[in-house]
Amino acid sequence: MLDGATRRLLCLRAYRSKALDSQQMIQLVKVTTMKHGVPANLITDHGVQFRNKFKLGLKTLGIKYVRGQARTPSFNGKVERFFKTLRLWQRPALWSTTQRGIQQRLDQYQAWYNTERPHQALNNSTPDEAWHCVQPAEPIPIRTADCPYHTPNIRVQRNQIGSDANLPVIKITVHRLAA
């Protein structure tokens, strides 16, 4: 589940079976809304799990159900773009064969996606920054006109989330040197 306004990934789950039913999907929505709040509406594709029982379940939760148009991927473009990012990340990775191992990898991905990956549509903020309405810090000038030879100490670190080298965390620290 993805919040459309902030691009925040609210829920990413691995299931044993590919075919989920409406009841499992409603339960997933209930758990997610208890944690993050009830959305005004929820957009889905035409999957069989999103039929009458699902629609009724959303109605009892007070959520308006919107079904995307068939063969129109741009209607739900934010989710389609998220899936592209997910597919690019998963390609080079070695995956666990257990549901628990897969879920651990997906949890790492969700943490990286929400806290480290800037989004162009969000003015290069991360989804968590947009979700919590965090304003970006003022940029630090590298050189000043009154002291052109005074250069700051710049340190660039490349880390990763957990043990996954495909989830980079870039940290740039700028310190002004005392004159």
- Look at strands 164-175 and 64-67 and give their pairing: unpaired
Residue 82, number of CB atoms within 10 A of its CB: 16
pLDDT digits (tens, 9 = 90+) for 97-133: 888 988 998 999 999 999 999 888 888 889 999 999 9
| Cα dihedral sign, 69-71-77-82 | positive
Q: Judge whether residue 167 has pLDDT over 80.
A: no
pTM of the model as a whole: 0.77
What does the pLDDT read at residue 127? Answer: 95
pLDDT digits (tens, 9 = 90+) for 24-60: 999 999 999 999 999 999 999 888 889 899 999 999 9
Tokens 């009724």 — which residue? Answer: 56
Check residue 121 and report its DSSP letter. G
pLDDT digits (tens, 9 = 90+) for 7-32: 999 999 988 877 788 999 999 999 99
What does the pLDDT read at residue 128? Answer: 95
3-state SS of 122-137 is HCCECHHHHHCCCCCC
Residue 130: closest CA among 43, 4, 19: 4
What does the pLDDT read at residue 35? Answer: 95
Q: Which long-range contacts (CB under 8 A, 24 or more apart) does 66-75 make?
A: 66/41, 66/42, 67/43, 68/43, 68/44, 70/46, 75/43
